[in-house]
């Protein structure tokens, strides 16, 4: 099979490409100019540094492809419009490039996000049939990317995957928590008992490949996550166990976090950078539940996640140590 992976040099994309190469697929990685290729060193991969800006270049990269894993996107941005420029408009160009191969359009597996749905409401778990209500520009840009897939449904076969927060080797978002726990402390905004769905990158790769290989998945949407009930308190304790520490759990009041976020946004604006903590991020963090229902993926794709938190955190901590990140 010939597979194209946009954003393939990143955290999730590099793990996916490793799995594709291992099973003998021909792989094309599409990345933005200047993106690091460190995780792809030594792999038999055709590399295109055209990014998502030019439909003609994308169409050339997609020539002969059986499947396109569209993973490229922004999770942090200097301004709200940047989310839409990459996550929505970039997706539209990918679908236009796929549609250009009339009669031979590749399957597109679109990586969306649970953020496209917004947090749980009325006690219900988030599912493929949940009415979306995103509470951030990131989530809204991902929901509009899904709308692009629906708009091209008559020309491009597509599958939408909505994961929650993804962790594992090479991931830097949760690295701060590991580093703090190693020092005996952990910080959270609001309650430590907020309930979330999580997924290890190994299980994400399994879900993406299952979606690409299943004819039943065409024009379907799936939430994928480990079904284990997780709170941030439980996750922090799992990190502590993996690192041999019993961290002091400190809760930052949302009002204080809001003030810090405003200051962080101002500092980032002066530097011309994206603020890691911003007001929208705080709004998402303080929600009581981000829990999804992966039962459709299990029933239709045979999705069977293998990484409960204890295993996933232990393997992530081991990788961080080996890479000297902690």
State whether residue 46 is helix, strand or coil.
strand
Handedness of CA 280, 283, 284, 285 (dihedral sign): positive
Q: Cα separations (Å) of 107 from 26, 78, 122, 158, 218?
A: 15, 32, 35, 5, 8
Q: What is the pLDDT of residue 111?
A: 98
- Which phi and psi (to 5°) does residue 111 adopt? -80, 105
Closest CA relative to residue 205, chosen from 292, 75, 312:
312
Cβ within 8 Å of residue 19, ≥6 positions away: 205, 209
Residue 93 lies in a domain: yes
Residue 185 lies in a domain: no
Residue 270 lies in a domain: no
Residue 284 lies in a domain: no
Nearest-Å Rg of the Cα atoms of the chain is 19
**Structural domain containing residue 96:** 2-170+199-227+289-306
Residue 15 lies in a domain: yes
The pairing of beta strand 198-200 with beta strand 230-231:
unpaired
Q: What is the pLDDT of residue 78?
A: 87
pLDDT tens readout for residues 199-237: 999 999 999 999 999 999 999 999 999 999 899 999 999
State whether residue 159 is helix, strand or coil.
strand
Residue 149 lies in a domain: yes
Residue 83 lies in a domain: yes
Residue 160 lies in a domain: yes
CA pair distance 264, 274, nearest whole angstrom: 9
Q: What is the pLDDT of residue 273?
A: 81
pLDDT tens readout for residues 159-172: 999 999 999 999 99
Q: What is the pLDDT of residue 128?
A: 96
As for how many domains the chain has, the answer is: 1
Q: Tell how far CA 253 is from the center of its chain.
A: 27
185: its two tokens:
């402390």
Domain containing 65 — which CATH number? 3.40.50.720
**Residue stretches of the chain with pLDDT short of 50:** none
For residue 69, give the H/E element and its range: strand 67-70
């Amino acid at each position: 099979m010939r597979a194209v992976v946009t954003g393939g040099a990143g955290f999730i994309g590099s793990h996916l490409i490793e799995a594709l190469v291992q099973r003998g697929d021909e792989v094309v990685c599409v990345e933005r100019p200047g993106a690091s290729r460190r995780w792809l060193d030594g792999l038999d991969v055709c590399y295109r540094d055209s990014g998502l800006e030019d439909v003609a270049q994308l169409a050339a990269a997609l020539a002969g492809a059986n499947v396109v894993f569209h993973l490229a996107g922004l999770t942090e941005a200097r301004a709200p419009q940047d989310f839409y420029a990459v996550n929505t408009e970039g997706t539209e160009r990918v679908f236009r490039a796929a549609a250009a191969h009339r009669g031979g359009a590749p399957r597109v597996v679109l990586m969306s996000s649970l953020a496209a749905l917004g947090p749980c409401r009325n006690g219900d778990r988030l599912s493929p049939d949940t009415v979306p209500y995103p509470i951030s520009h990131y989530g809204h840009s991902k929901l509009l990317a899904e709308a692009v897939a629906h708009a091209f449904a008559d020309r491009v076969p597509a599958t939408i995957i909505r994961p929650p927060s993804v962790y594992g080797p090479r991931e830097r978002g949760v690295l701060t928590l590991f580093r703090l726990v190693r020092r005996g402390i952990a910080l959270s905004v609001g309650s430590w008992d907020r309930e979330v769905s999580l997924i290890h990158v190994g299980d994400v790769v399994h879900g993406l490949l299952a979606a690409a290989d299943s004819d039943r998945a065409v024009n379907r949407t799936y939430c994928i996550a480990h079904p284990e009930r997780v709170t941030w308190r439980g996750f922090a304790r799992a990190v502590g166990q993996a690192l041999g520490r019993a961290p002091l759990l400190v809760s930052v009041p949302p009002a204080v976090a809001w003030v810090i976020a405003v200051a962080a946004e101002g500092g980032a604006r002066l530097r011309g950078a994206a603020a890691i903590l911003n007001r929208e991020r705080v709004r998402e963090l303080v929600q009581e539940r981000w829990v999804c229902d992966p039962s459709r993926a299990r029933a239709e794709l045979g999705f069977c996640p293998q990484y409960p938190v204890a295993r996933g955190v232990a393997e992530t901590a081991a990788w961080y140590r080996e890479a000297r990140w902690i």
